[in-house]
Amino acid sequence: MAELLRLDQASKRYGALTVVDNVDLFVADGEAVGVIGPNGAGKSTMFNLITGDAPIDAGRVVFDGRDVGHLPPHARCHAGIGRTYQIPHPFAKMTVFENLLVGAAFGNRRREADTYGHCVDLLALTDLLPKANANAGTLTPLQRKRLELARALATEPRLLLLDEVAGGLTEPECQELLGTIRQIHASGVTIIWVEHIVHTLVSFARRLIVINAGRILDDGEPARVLANPAVKEVYLGMPAS
């Protein structure tokens, strides 16, 4: 499979604390990758290095064959990297449709009028069409998660980074969201999904990465990774036998 994303010895430090420690990561075009790890393991910081939300201290971020580690976030978005955040922050006083227009027009460098059809399609995909003219600040938690997802998709990413999009949702809501994410992946979008709800994540991911203390502890087929005694000890709290 063709390479889409690669981290080469990627590192990020905050003072004396190393949050991402010489991480090597390869993601092929079209993959469905899950990422787990304890709180503070460096998962979101790794996403920040990929998107440019945090400057890299050492190593490289290569996307579609190009070193993008020096580019600002908006340039990486234009290159095809989209993401969601753990806590959605929509433009609360704008309508749901207007929120998507911002992502489609500015995130994808298109004329606003040329994005209307695309935004309507995304509202339908994320079950937000009935809420198109509602202010984003009035949405339920599930609807806010869906809007966060739709805004990321409005930029037409080739790589979509999902940061705990199922957090705080009920089990039926998780299953609804999972169905949408499967549709997105089936359309050709490569997905890396960080999530604490493991059973939801592994029902989607074909590959599972475990991060601990800023390093990759294991990487491979989900069932094998979850059976790893070191993973059980670090992530699941089960002592190694």
pLDDT per residue over 155-183, tens digit each?
A: 999 999 999 999 888 999 899 999 999 99
Query: What is the dihedral angle through the alpha carbons of 136, 139, 145, 146, rounded to the nearest 10 degrees?
Result: -80
Residues 213 and 241 in one domain: yes
- Taking residues 138-146, report their average pLDDT: 93
Out of 137, 156, 175, pick the residue that ends a domain.
156
Q: Considering its fold, how many domains does the chain have in total?
A: 2
In angstroms, the CA 121 to CA 127 distance is 10
The overall pTM is greater than 0.75: yes
Q: In what order do the strands lie in the sheet with 159-163?
A: 81-83, 159-163, 190-194, 32-36, 207-212, 215-220
* Structural domain boundaries, residue 124: 82-156
Structure confidence by residue, pLDDT tens digits, 16-74: 999 999 999 999 999 999 999 999 999 999 999 999 999 999 999 999 999 999 999 99
- Identify whether the C-beta of residue 109 lies closer than 8 Å to the C-beta of residue 78: yes
Residues 207 and 167 in one domain: yes
* Secondary structure element (H or E) that encloses residue 12, with its range: strand 3-14
Out of 104, 129, 156, pick the residue that ends a domain.
156
What angle, 0 to 180 degrees and rounded to 10, lies between the N-to-C axes of helices 116-125 and 96-106? 120
Out of 156, 177, 198, pick the residue that ends a domain.
156
Residues 149 and 214 in one domain: no
Confidence grade of residue 236 (pLDDT, cut at 50, 70, 90): low
